[in-house]
Amino acid sequence: MNNCFALAPWADVLHAGDARWWLAHPEAERACAERWTLDPMLGTQPGMSHIEGIDEPGISEHPTRVHTGGNSGYSAIGLAALWGADRVTLLGYDMGTTGGRLHWHPDHDEKTLGNPVDFQTWRDRLAGAAADLRRLGVHVVNASRETALACFERMPLERALAA
């Protein structure tokens, strides 16, 4: 999701919820086999796919809608669940400031994208979604090196990939 396409150009899917991110990163147009957005206008562009995003708690079971949770990471987990994933491994879900930084990449330009400010709300929303994911049979493992997110099983990446 979002800027992570630069670290995983081999990924099958790139998801960034809002149009502002896509407009700020035209180089992402060449990234990944599938590109998904929550923005209905961008979703009509060649090579883009759109899914409706709504700000409701939990994980959507509606085939054309994801719950947003206020961030692309939340909606990406929802997409995986909708697409039938039974296991999701999280990387980079710090959900807080790590080493004095908000991202692994430089902060976004405040005028075009802004930066996260309410990590606690994001953590609370994901904690609420965790029960839905368990009910749906989706096992979520948080393999992030550092994280403030405590609602999913923690596991080193090497072990998560071997499981």
Query: Could you please report the per-residue DSSP string of 63-127?
Result: TTEEE-TTSHHHHHHHHHHHTT-SEEEE-S---S-BTTBSSSSPPPPTTTT-----HHHHHHHHH
Domain boundaries, the chain: 2-162
Distance (Å, whole) CA 112 – CA 23: 9
**Residue pLDDT, tens place only, 58-102:** 999 999 999 999 899 999 999 999 999 999 999 989 988 887 777
**Residue pLDDT, tens place only, 89-144:** 999 899 888 877 776 677 777 777 877 778 999 999 999 999 999 999 999 999 99
Average pLDDT over residues 41-51: 92
pTM value?
A: 0.91
- Amino acid 32: pLDDT: 77
**pLDDT(147) > 90:** yes
- Amino acid 55: pLDDT: 93
Distance (Å, whole) CA 77 – CA 63: 14
